[in-house]
């Protein structure tokens, strides 16, 4: 029998949980565990890591044994384009804010963020970027007096 999308999705989720839980245990191995009467810094994370691993295994088994009817469960579709662009924007902003200052950083981040959608370039995009940059500088520098420099 062929695996359905929901099953493949749950198996991937289960595998991810096992990996993350195992990572937590592995990277926390240098911390002192202590005893339950006197827990060290490593006790709680190791416990959580083990639980996350166990839930992952349980979820995987439940899926393989077809014990769960979760075909109708709601989940989002994956679209790499907006994910990469939007999740990358903060990194871009972080690289730009030091050398370029607030105004140009905002202009560039807005223009790049527009790439999350497939649409033709129009003059609306740079116009939005400029207006937004001006408004943000006014709000954050003049009104809220954040310690950021506006220009390079």
Give the ranges where the chain is alpha helix by DSSP (H).
5-27, 43-64, 80-113, 124-136
Chain positions 11 to 50 lying near other proteins, rule: CB under 8 A, are 12-13, 16-17, 20, 24, 27-28, 31-32, 35-45, 48-49
Chain positions 82 to 101 lying near other proteins, rule: CB under 8 A, are 82-83, 86-91, 93-94, 97
Chain positions 104 to 133 lying near other proteins, rule: CB under 8 A, are 106, 109-110, 113-114, 116-117, 119, 124, 128-129, 132
- The C-alpha atoms of residue 136 and residue 133 are separated, in whole angstroms, by 5
Residue number with CB closer to other proteins (1 or 33): 33
Minimum distance, C-beta of residue 42 to other proteins, in the bound complex (Å):
8
């Amino acid at each position: 029998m062929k695996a359905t999308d929901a099953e493949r999705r749950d198996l991937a989720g289960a595998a991810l949980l096992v990996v993350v839980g195992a990572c937590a245990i592995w990277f926390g191995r240098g911390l002192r565990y202590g005893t339950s009467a006197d827990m060290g810094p490593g006790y709680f994370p190791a416990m959580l890591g083990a639980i996350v691993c166990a839930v992952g295994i349980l979820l995987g088994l439940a899926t393989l044994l077809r014990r769960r009817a979760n075909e109708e469960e709601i989940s989002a579709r994956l679209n790499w384009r907006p994910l990469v662009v939007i999740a990358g924007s903060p990194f871009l902003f972080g690289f730009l804010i030091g050398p370029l200052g607030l105004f140009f950083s905002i202009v560039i981040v807005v223009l790049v963020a527009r790439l999350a959608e497939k649409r033709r370039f129009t003059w609306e995009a740079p116009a939005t970027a400029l207006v937004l940059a001006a408004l943000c500088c006014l709000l954050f520098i003049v009104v809220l007096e954040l310690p950021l420099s506006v220009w390079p």
